[in-house]
Structure 1
């Protein structure tokens, strides 16, 4: 847990360093939100800045502190840092990227996508994970300031978890590690470009 927080601080420091010391492109900044995240009641926010003619740095965070009826929960926080290379120009068209991700979770009485933990309907999982991968995306310009982006990333996530027999009670059933290879990022972002 301490290592995850240290990595997040490191990437935040790296992001801010590049932002304040890059060579004249910092006037191109975008803020964004992932509509898929809001569909899962996970407030989220991202910022992206141009670091060269065809390169940007994207930082993103999401949190879900809520429990729902029948004690359904998908509580989490996560942070993601991504370098992007744009084929035409930054903030327009096709791009590829490399991303890192880290966070914590507490999931129970709900079904997760992509088969990450298949038994979350009948057990509760609590833990943390770190990983990374590659991304492909496309951004459409809607107006002078507004854009829309679709992004999909695949990669690897290492996770440490504790498993409990039900969503509200019980003693520890299992503690272990999970290696996940698959979708690590999916976004439909609404973007405001400065």
Structure 2
């Protein structure tokens, strides 16, 4: 009798535990991206990061609706332990988190509002992304077939006043509604960006421009360049102005590579030796390049243009402070006509 009592009590205590299923609490799906110590760049092909990113993008694509409306947040945690101080570790962890989020914004169609970010000064050199997917509702049990009943024996006819049974219509299944589709951010991206060619600035030639992204594929831009230097009691001269409009077509899923058409016009005055050259230039050609994101709004634009330039100029010498014309020439050039490492700042 005592043994039966103990077994009954044990069954009462363990019964709820056996009744709980795995669907009652959803476990987060975690993705880990490794970073090189003392470096904040996100190397996608390195140490399994590429495969992990593809798994994460597939998860985002399958749950885009609930992520975009804020039902399911994307939890990002950045970690760094390779720096000398806690402040430096926290700053690098923040930069690493932003690198990963930039990839998800550009390739996954997310926005900054989709993320919840925390950064830490311990735990290694990595970034983790967690998405807690709520469990799917349990399917309704399928209706069980009703066994056939033997035909009852014929009853004698009842008087007309007797109530007749009324057949109830069978319940109809509810129509299945398809989930609404969500348009990717990259399919409708547009905006305005400022840009500056760092190669021009390195040669003391200030250069500024603007680019209008009409849609995710096409953009219009223009860069302007101006400089004027003289030295050695004005015996040496370097002056230039240029205007270069350009139209671009962006290619690929991430819209980073592009091809374009460039036109440029301007004037110059060079005197690096005894003979100076002053005139006009005109030309253009095909351009190509690649955009490398370095932050939420900043990116580097690597570009090269090939085409034709024509320069009409006069040669001169400076004698007693007076320019003396020495003739004129025309030069034509086929080859590289433009090169740039351009810093772009996306305004919106």
What's 1:50 paired with? 213
User: CA RMSD of the aligned region, Å?
Assistant: 2.1
Aligned length: 158
Any conservation in 2 of the 1:154–1:185 contact (CA below 8 Å)?
yes
Q: Partners of 1:142 and 1:68 in 2: how far apart?
A: 38
Match of 1:185 among 316, 338, 345: 338
| Unpaired stretches in structure 2, ≥5 consecutive residues | 1-187
Residue in 2 that maps onto 1:96: 259
Distance across 1 between alignment mates of 2:222 and 2:346:
15
- In 1: Cα distance, 2:299 partner to 2:253 partner: 14
Larger radius of gyration: 2
- Structure 1 match to 2:291: 139
TM-score (norm 1): 0.74
Alpha-carbon displacement from aligned partner over 1:139-178 (angstroms, at most 9, x marks no partner): 1011110001111101111221001145965521111322
Residue 315 of structure 2, aligned match among 138, 143, 163:
163
- Aligned structure 1 segments of 4 or more residues deviating by more than 4 angstroms: 166-170
CA gap of 1:161–1:89, structure 2 versus 1, over 3 A, is farther
- Preserved CA contact (<8 Å) 2:189 2:215: no
Q: Is the CA contact 2:283–2:307 (under 8 Å) kept in the aligned structure 1?
A: yes
Greater relative contact order: 1 or 2 (C-alpha under 8 angstroms, separation 6 or more)? 1
TM-score by length of 2: 0.43
Task: Give the CA deviation at 1:126.
Answer: 0.2
**Are the aligned partners of 1:108 and 1:166 in contact in 2 as well (CA < 8 Å)?**
no
SS in 1 for 2:324: coil
Q: Which residue of 1 aligns with 2:248?
A: 84
Distance 1:75 1:33, change over 3 A: same
For residue 65 of structure 1, give the secondary structure of its aligned residue in structure 2. Answer: strand
Relative to its length, the structure with more strand (as a share) is 1
> How far apart are 1:181 and its partner, in Å?
1.4
Report if aligned partners of 2:190, 2:214 keep a CA contact under 8 Å in 1.
no
